[in-house]
Structure 1
Amino acid sequence: MGNEQSLPYNPFLIHLSLKNTIGREPNEVIKASKEARGTQYILKTSSRKVYGQLIEMKQLINGTNVEITQHPTLNKTAGVIYDLDTKNLSTDLIMEGLKAQGVIEVRRITKKVSGIPTNTPLLVVYFEGSFLPEHVYLGMLRVNVRRYYSSPMQCYRCGRFGHGSKNCKDKEICLNCGTEHESTGEHSARDRTCTVFEAEKHLVNVKTDNNITFPEARALLKQNRTGNETYASTVNSRMNTYVDDKDRIIQLLRQEVESLKKATNSQPASDDRDTTIKKT
């Protein structure tokens, strides 16, 4: 939800506008978050009725014009399939064959061979909603579907991740030396072993697995990282206490053994004799 400019900085106004539109408490059926630097709201609902009401909403209650449209990525799930027989078939033909199975879009993965884009047997298939089926049928053949993880978006102007070069306002760098890249070191900004790339790739995977936005994925990662650090700290503290107690007990036992040895050595030697008792 948004318009060409920022939405009014008044969350209560938006809440009341949504309540007026759907005729009930919006927090019961809508989950909201922000994106695009706060200029847009993401509204999630599992109710088709509420979805229809939101799409028809054109203004907030103070007269601010808004447009509510279907989110371009959160309403579809991507999977990848592999099949040699379809390598040279058009995606339109494949789409026609898969449409009845809930596929809404098909994209071919290509690679460059001698500088020429060449088809691979890999296809990215998109399904409406968040459900990803385990398989599809290519004609009579059952083909497994694996979740598709897109590569992190990288700007080829500044080398940073999370945005494209079209709207980049940062300083342009050479991607071979990456002098302005965060954590470049001795490698190129395009090096896939870069720790920044790995972190961004993990972020993309978390976003995809949970069907959430990038800000939500970052918050989830931060929450998990904090929780893990707290858990590790607690475990370490308990282990240190256990080791200290163990060392203390061992020291006490050693002192007790030494005391018994000294007590034994200080007693005079005995002159024991065996005796027998019998009736006379």
Structure 2
Amino acid sequence: MASQEVEEDGEMDYGDWTPVANRRGGIGVNRAEGGWMTSQGSKRSLEESSSDEGSGFVRKKAGKKEVKIILKFRKDEHISLSPIAVSRELKKKLGVVEMARILRDGSLFIVCKTEEQKNKAWEVESVCKKIISERKIVGDSKVTRGVITGIPVEEDLDKLKRSINGGEVSRIKRLMRTVNDERVESLSLLLEFQESVLPEKVKIGCMIFPVRPYIPPPLRCYKCQRYGHIAVACKGKQRCPKCGDEHRVEDCKEKVQDKCCNCGGQHRVTYGGCEVRKRAVKIQQVKTVNNISYAEAVKTVQGQK
């Protein structure tokens, strides 16, 4: 197959991550410097990043400060969450919460009534037998994310971060791309700024680098392979991203003709040149740039035809 060089972050960026010890003495994986707490050290490509993080789900009551927390589950867990079972377990472990919701990426978003309730939620290790791998408190601070390119893969990112001028960079991360179905490091970096407006450029030493808005990869269901939702909310059939047949990718034969189950082309569903994927990328771009819902972005793209 020809080289597929679509820049992808491949991970959901809710914030910086910090290693923590679990009760069995295990140590989580340090993905960055603070924020998400990794209890199981799990590693999984989180594509789309859903930027919902609970915003817009709750109407705040006057004079009442709500505490929001996101619990992200281990990605090897394939247990569907029952609303009744989740509500019952949260009440047992935390008491009556303000509200809870499953986000598009499968994480559990909880609005706690008190700081004490938030602390209890932080200590929860599982919900309905699904193991929690990461946790994050959703704060009010505004951040923007942008991308610069042309940075060699050998560059020390910690030193580079300290050398950036033109914006307060809280986090820096190397983006990945796909070449011949393999994930490799790209020359692009994701920069997270502690600012509400994305800088147009940054300066590293004497060199200027334009900053473009970061557009997360389109959200794709790992069950039916269609875009715009995740497996936990999928009502479609299981489809293979390699050959398009109704089975899991691990059950696919080694020597089989690639076939996209979305467009019917002779390529895998992840191919960057796929017309269905390119449309999904466009929808994600419209959604991110205009800060609108996925459904609104779909209508906007359809109206541009």
Q: Greater helix percent: which structure?
A: 1
- TM-score normalised per structure 2: 0.45
Higher relative CO (Cα under 8 Å, sequence separation at least 6) belongs to: 2
